Amino acid sequence: MFTDESLDGVDIKSTWRKERDLASSSVQTEDLLISDAAVQSIKWADEAIQTDEEPEKKFWLAQDTSGRLVDFLRRVEPYILRQLQKNLQSRAFDDYEVGGDEEKSAVTIVHTLTHADLNNKFQVTGLSWNSTGSVIAASYGNFEHEDWCTHKASLCTWNLDRRNINENKADTAVELSSCLMCIAFHPQNPALIAGGNFNGEVMLWDLSREDDTLVCTSGIGDDAHQEPVSKVHWFPDSKGKRFSLVSIGTDGKILVWKVDRKHQKLSLKDGFVLMNQSLPRKMKVKGVRGDKEIGATCISYNSEDRDMFLVGSEAGAIFKCSMHAQGNPAGSHIVSSIPLRSPVTFTYSPHHGPVYSVECSPFHRNAFISSAMDQCIRLYSILQAQPVMTIEPGEGYIYSVAWSPIRPTLIAAVAETGNLLLYDLKHGQPTPVQKLGASPQKQPVYTCQFNSHQTEFLATGDAAGYIQIFKLSQSLRKVAAKDAEFIGKLVSVAAE
């Protein structure tokens, strides 16, 4: 019925699709002709116009014989005085600044100093400006030692007023037989500088000498420090004319030295010792003797009361002390040619770790700041134990803090991260107004010092041996109205 059958294929050609023809061609414009021609005027004219000088006008004050002007001034005087008094208490223009062409917010690095002969083997352990503000001195050493120190460290100075300053070589370099841990220029003699070393010796140099710059030394013995010297400080007498040298050490001693330049000797004049009995009750360890020494790390004298000073300790406590304190005597195990006693009159709420820096405000007798291993900056009132303000920068250990010598609310701090932090306490915010790198190699920065004579300069020193000199902006050097009053109110309100 059905069968398979194959049929031939059928092709049906399209009636609309045709093969495409392709062809290539090119088009080129003719060469462009270019010509240059200069046109310059050959005539010029200059003409000046000046107005004639006007004759000077004379003004005459009218004579008031009626008395009405006097009556008017007497009537309005009370209103004007009340308004002027009101203006004095107003803060409407506290932060107002007249604009200018100068960039007011920039902080610049003007010098990066190092002593190349030390080969970056030592840290900058301390800085000090001399009494003219033109010379910066640096003490070089190492904070960490496993045994007796035999390092060949140095005391170096640079004169920033010199035209061709060598930033890689100190103007003066005094080689030492052990690490130098701290220095302090004399407040009046620009060539006299004191320092303390790791082995407990206090020394005095006269940099104006060409040969032997060492004037005198405490030596090493019972009357000297038995451990590294932490800080040295010049202490004025009641008239402010003569100065004694104060040194503190991690052996807990606070020693007052008389400078005997004739016999080339530092003579022990007075002394104190920090003891375990002065710690807050919660910090005392059961079984530890009350006369056991506490290492002293930093010291600062009050700006108005010269007999009062503050001492920070390795235990984290901050002590208020007096030069005339008659506290408990030192333990019998401490040998000294003069009797040592406790200088402590009050103890503040402690940091959670060794205190690295403490400094009294130069503008208000009741304000001081501190920093410690607990990574905090604290503002205290001398009248109360608890801090008024606590700032946590988040920059690791805060090794040093300092007050501006001209602006009451400005403080500087240097940190483990290698940064310089500038805070304006009047802003009321825990954020710095300036955050700057203070170490070329991003090493920890151990010290910072404002220049109290050439106030535009601030110096920092780091763990790689570099010193950076910053020039502060105009805005950071300008004293705003009632800044000192603000600090006073801040610590007074807290004390109440």
> Quick one: average pLDDT of 324-336?
89
- Contact criterion met (CB below 8 Å) for 333 and 379: no
Structural tokens at position 33: 């002709």
Asked if pLDDT for residue 6 goes beyond 90, the answer is no
> Quick one: average pLDDT of 148-175?
92
Amino acid 102: pLDDT: 46
Amino acid 95: pLDDT: 52
Amino acid 31: pLDDT: 65
CATH superfamily of 113-495: YVTN repeat-like/Quinoprotein amine dehydrogenase (2.130.10.10)
pLDDT band at 59 (very low <50, low <70, confident <90, very high): low
pTM > 0.85: yes or no: no
From 29-43, 153-167, 385-399, 410-424, the region with the lowest mean pLDDT? 29-43
Asked if pLDDT for residue 13 goes beyond 70, the answer is no
Q: Render pLDDT for 86-135 as a digit per residue (tens, 0 to 9).
A: 887 776 665 555 544 444 567 999 999 999 999 889 999 999 999 999 99
Strands, sheet with 243-249, edge to edge from the N-terminal-most edge strand: 180-185, 192-197, 202-206, 214-217, 265-273, 253-260, 243-249, 229-236
Amino acid 480: pLDDT: 74
Structural tokens at position 211: 């040969």
Amino acid 35: pLDDT: 66
Amino acid 290: pLDDT: 84
Asked if pLDDT for residue 16 goes beyond 50, the answer is no
> Quick one: average pLDDT of 283-292?
83
**CA torsion, ordered 367, 370, 376, 381, to nearest 10 deg:** -20
- CA 177-129-208 angle, to 5 degrees, is 60
Amino acid 295: pLDDT: 95
> Quick one: average pLDDT of 62-86?
85
Of residues 478 and 35, more confidence is placed in: 478
Provide the residue type at 485 as one letter.
E
Of residues 195 and 91, more confidence is placed in: 195
Asked if pLDDT for residue 26 goes beyond 60, the answer is no
Structural tokens at position 147: 């045994």
HSE-up of 7 (CA within 13 Å, CB side)?
Answer: 4
Amino acid 66: pLDDT: 78
Contacts 24+ apart (CB under 8 A), 19-26: none
Average pLDDT across the chain, whole number: 86
Contacts of 253 (CB under 8 A, 6+ apart): 225, 226, 247, 271, 272, 273, 293, 296, 340
Amino acid 288: pLDDT: 84
Q: How far is CA 44 from the centre of its chain?
A: 61
Other C-beta atoms lying within 10 Å of the C-beta of residue 288: 11
Residue 76 dihedral angles phi and psi, to the nearest 5°: -85, -15
Q: Render pLDDT for 252-273 as a digit per residue (tens, 0 to 9).
A: 999 999 988 777 789 999 999 9
* Highest mean pLDDT: which range of 36-40, 200-204, 279-283: 200-204
Q: Render pLDDT for 360-408 as a digit per residue (tens, 0 to 9).
A: 999 999 999 999 999 999 999 999 999 999 999 999 999 999 999 999 9
How far apart, in whole angstroms, are the C-alpha atoms of residue 229 and residue 246?
A: 11
Spell out the domain ranges in the chain: 113-495
Amino acid 163: pLDDT: 86
- Contact criterion met (CB below 8 Å) for 135 and 469: no
Q: Render pLDDT for 206-223 as a digit per residue (tens, 0 to 9).
A: 999 888 899 999 988 888
